[in-house]
Amino acid sequence: MAEQPENWVRIGNDHLSAAINPLGAELSSLCDAAGRELMTDADPAFWTGRAPLLFPVIGVTRDGIRLNGRHYPMAKHGFARHAMFEVVTVEPTRAVFSLGDSEETRASYPFAFRLEAEFRLEDATLVMDVRILNRGEVVMPASFGFHPAFAWPLPYGRARADHRITFEREEPSKLRVIAPDGQIAQGLRDSPLDGRVLHLADDLFTQDALVWDPVESRSLTYGADGAPQLRIAFPDTDKLGIWTKPGAAYVCVEPWHGIADPEGFDGDFAEKPGVFVVPVGGEKLIRTTVTLAG
């Protein structure tokens, strides 16, 4: 396990250890009991991200977001991934982080919100719960996505080419197409699945991410036969991105509740595909779990 920055928050049990960077409340390390790293090496030649939280948008917008006739600038994947979260709770197997609205966030997203990210270890499972709370006086539209990058290959002696992703269910739909500018293009692409199996290879990602919209499964398994694998569950999201840069030592499994702007979309943000609405005083819980199995 590589040396970690002092400000990362660490939790652990007899099965797993995790470290979370308060900048973005980003899961930055997940190790097995022997200290073997299960996440990306964050090689700057490819991508320095590890597991950003995507809020309040996913992907790129056509030109910011539009709300009630007004235009607001918005960065790709939103602002939460670049924001410093407050460390609320640190326990041996649990840590909670919080981000509230500010003058800076309201310039691009004019809502009173709180984003709470909880990480906890339950035996060989890491549970990641994100709660989006509406603290304002109007309903609040939002998107949210997870973006964890797992080691490819995993540290169990199997070749990179032997790694695969197996979906829980059949996935009959064709995939979305990402345009060169990051928006969702018109048309669909054929699915690369072999039954329920995605055989990982660099050439799958020459045109950006694979995007299932919708995804029928609510879990999948990643790894190589005859070795420990990761079981990733996403009960609260109906879209999924799988992405890497060819040659990189990671693959991202990204459960999304939302999607990049479709080409030509110029409607109100609340009308955008995949956007949910949090009622006044309400909250939205979105969970994903990662279990080391085998």
- For residues 164-177, give the mean pLDDT: 98
The pLDDT tens digits of the residues spanning 114-150 come to 999 999 999 999 999 999 999 999 999 999 999 999 9
Longest dimension (CA), the chain: 56
Closest CA to 120 of 210, 27, 231: 27
Contacts of 151 (CB under 8 A, 6+ apart): 37, 38, 39, 40, 41, 249, 250
Count CB-CB contacts under 10 A for residue 117: 23
Q: Where are the alpha helices (DSSP H) in 241-284?
A: none
Task: Please state the domain extents for the chain.
Answer: 9-155+241-293
Of 2.70.98.10, 3.20.20.70, 3.20.20.150, 3.90.320.10, which CATH number belongs to 9-155+241-293?
Answer: 2.70.98.10
Render pLDDT for 44-66 as a digit per residue (tens, 0 to 9).
999 999 999 999 999 999 999 99
C-alpha to C-alpha distance for 282 and 63, rounded to whole angstroms: 29
Q: Is the pLDDT of residue 3 over 90?
A: no
11-39: per-residue pLDDT in tens? 999 999 999 999 999 999 999 999 999 99
Question: Is 0.95 surpassed by the pTM of this model?
Answer: yes
Measured CA to CA, the distance from residue 209 to residue 246 in angstroms comes to: 11
Q: Are 88 and 97 in contact (CB under 8 A)?
A: yes
